[in-house]
Amino acid sequence: GEDVEQSLFLSVREGDSSVINCTYTDSSSTYLYWYKQEPGAGLQLLTYIFSNMDMKQDQRLTVLLNKKDKHLSLRIADTQTGDSAIYFCAESRSNAGNMLTFGGGTRLMVKP
Protein backbone atom coordinates (compact mmCIF):
# COMPACT_ATOMS: atom_id res chain seq x y z
CA GLY A 1 0.00 0.00 0.00
CA GLU A 2 0.93 3.61 -0.25
CA ASP A 3 2.81 5.42 2.53
CA VAL A 4 3.90 9.03 2.93
CA GLU A 5 6.40 10.05 5.59
CA GLN A 6 7.63 13.35 6.95
CA SER A 7 9.82 14.44 9.80
CA LEU A 8 7.83 15.70 12.77
CA PHE A 9 9.45 18.99 13.54
CA LEU A 10 11.59 21.76 12.05
CA SER A 11 12.81 24.93 13.73
CA VAL A 12 14.38 27.85 11.85
CA ARG A 13 15.19 31.50 12.48
CA GLU A 14 13.22 34.25 10.82
CA GLY A 15 14.81 35.16 7.49
CA ASP A 16 16.43 31.76 6.99
CA SER A 17 15.28 29.21 4.43
CA SER A 18 13.20 26.23 5.55
CA VAL A 19 13.29 22.89 3.82
CA ILE A 20 10.57 20.37 4.63
CA ASN A 21 11.07 16.87 3.29
CA CYS A 22 8.67 14.10 2.36
CA THR A 23 9.11 10.57 1.07
CA TYR A 24 6.48 8.39 -0.54
CA THR A 25 6.36 4.82 -1.69
CA ASP A 26 3.81 4.71 -4.51
CA SER A 27 5.55 5.11 -7.85
CA SER A 28 2.18 5.64 -9.57
CA SER A 29 1.57 8.92 -7.78
CA THR A 30 0.18 11.48 -10.20
CA TYR A 31 0.20 14.68 -8.17
CA LEU A 32 2.05 15.64 -5.03
CA TYR A 33 0.78 18.42 -2.81
CA TRP A 34 1.83 20.64 0.02
CA TYR A 35 -0.85 21.88 2.41
CA LYS A 36 -0.39 24.32 5.31
CA GLN A 37 -2.45 24.12 8.48
CA GLU A 38 -2.41 26.88 11.07
CA PRO A 39 -3.69 26.19 14.59
CA GLY A 40 -7.44 25.58 14.67
CA ALA A 41 -7.81 26.05 10.92
CA GLY A 42 -8.41 23.92 7.86
CA LEU A 43 -5.84 22.89 5.28
CA GLN A 44 -4.67 25.57 2.88
CA LEU A 45 -3.36 24.36 -0.46
CA LEU A 46 0.10 25.88 -0.92
CA THR A 47 1.28 24.28 -4.11
CA TYR A 48 1.34 21.04 -6.04
CA ILE A 49 3.50 19.39 -8.64
CA PHE A 50 2.68 16.95 -11.37
CA SER A 51 4.74 13.78 -11.22
CA ASN A 52 6.50 14.42 -14.54
CA MET A 53 7.97 17.69 -13.26
CA ASP A 54 11.21 18.12 -11.34
CA MET A 55 10.70 21.56 -9.89
CA LYS A 56 8.06 24.19 -9.41
CA GLN A 57 8.59 27.68 -8.05
CA ASP A 58 5.93 30.04 -6.76
CA GLN A 59 7.19 33.23 -5.10
CA ARG A 60 8.92 32.14 -1.88
CA LEU A 61 8.05 28.49 -2.38
CA THR A 62 10.12 25.98 -4.33
CA VAL A 63 9.05 22.37 -4.72
CA LEU A 64 11.60 19.77 -5.78
CA LEU A 65 10.62 16.28 -6.86
CA ASN A 66 13.06 13.40 -7.20
CA LYS A 67 10.89 10.72 -8.70
CA LYS A 68 13.65 8.12 -8.73
CA ASP A 69 14.12 8.42 -4.97
CA LYS A 70 10.41 9.21 -4.34
CA HIS A 71 11.44 12.32 -2.46
CA LEU A 72 9.58 15.62 -2.36
CA SER A 73 10.73 18.81 -0.67
CA LEU A 74 9.28 22.22 0.02
CA ARG A 75 11.67 25.12 0.39
CA ILE A 76 10.41 28.36 1.91
CA ALA A 77 12.73 31.28 1.28
CA ASP A 78 13.03 34.13 3.78
CA THR A 79 10.89 32.30 6.34
CA GLN A 80 8.61 34.55 8.37
CA THR A 81 6.89 34.03 11.73
CA GLY A 82 3.61 33.77 9.84
CA ASP A 83 4.95 30.63 8.19
CA SER A 84 4.79 28.81 11.53
CA ALA A 85 2.29 26.00 10.98
CA ILE A 86 2.00 22.29 10.24
CA TYR A 87 2.86 21.35 6.67
CA PHE A 88 1.32 18.23 5.17
CA CYS A 89 2.67 16.46 2.13
CA ALA A 90 0.09 14.42 0.19
CA GLU A 91 0.02 12.30 -2.92
CA SER A 92 -2.79 11.26 -5.20
CA ARG A 93 -3.17 8.82 -8.04
CA SER A 94 -5.42 9.36 -11.04
CA ASN A 95 -6.38 5.69 -10.94
CA ALA A 96 -7.63 6.09 -7.36
CA GLY A 97 -10.20 8.82 -7.92
CA ASN A 98 -7.89 11.55 -6.64
CA MET A 99 -7.90 10.15 -3.12
CA LEU A 100 -5.21 11.83 -1.06
CA THR A 101 -2.70 9.99 1.08
CA PHE A 102 -1.26 12.35 3.66
CA GLY A 103 2.00 12.34 5.52
CA GLY A 104 1.90 12.86 9.25
CA GLY A 105 2.75 16.56 8.98
CA THR A 106 5.84 18.61 9.85
CA ARG A 107 5.49 21.31 12.48
CA LEU A 108 7.52 24.35 11.43
CA MET A 109 8.50 26.75 14.18
CA VAL A 110 9.98 30.10 13.16
CA LYS A 111 11.93 31.92 15.84
CA PRO A 112 12.16 35.73 15.69
Partner 1 sequence: DAMVIQNPRYQVTQFGKPVTLSCSQTLNHNVMYWYQQKSSQAPKLLFHYYDKDFNNEADTPDNFQSRRPNTSFCFLDIRSPGLGDAAMYLCATGRSTDTQYFGPGTRLTVL
Do 63 and 78 form a contact (C-beta atoms < 8 A)? no
Q: Stretches 18-26, 57-65, 71-79, 99-107: which one binds partner 1 (CB under 8 A)? A: 99-107
CA distance 101 to 92: 6
Smallest gap from Cβ 8 to partner 1, in A, equals: 9
- Mapped onto helix, strand or coil, the DSSP state of residue 94 is helix
Distances (CA, A) of 82 to 44, 50, 56: 14, 27, 22
Near partner 1 by CB under 8 A, which window of 17-25, 50-58, 63-71, 103-111? 103-111
Q: Cβ 105 to partner 1, closest distance in Å? A: 6
How many separate helices (H) and strands (E) can be counted in the chain?
0, 11
Residue 97 binds partner 1, judged by CB under 8 A: yes
* Of the candidate residues 55, 77, 99, 109, the single one contacting partner 1 (CB under 8 A): 99
CB nearer to partner 1: give 36 or 70: 36
Q: What is the rounded distance in angstroms from the CA atom of residue 86 to the CA atom of residue 39?
A: 8
Residues 44-73 contacting partner 1, CB under 8 A = 44-45, 48
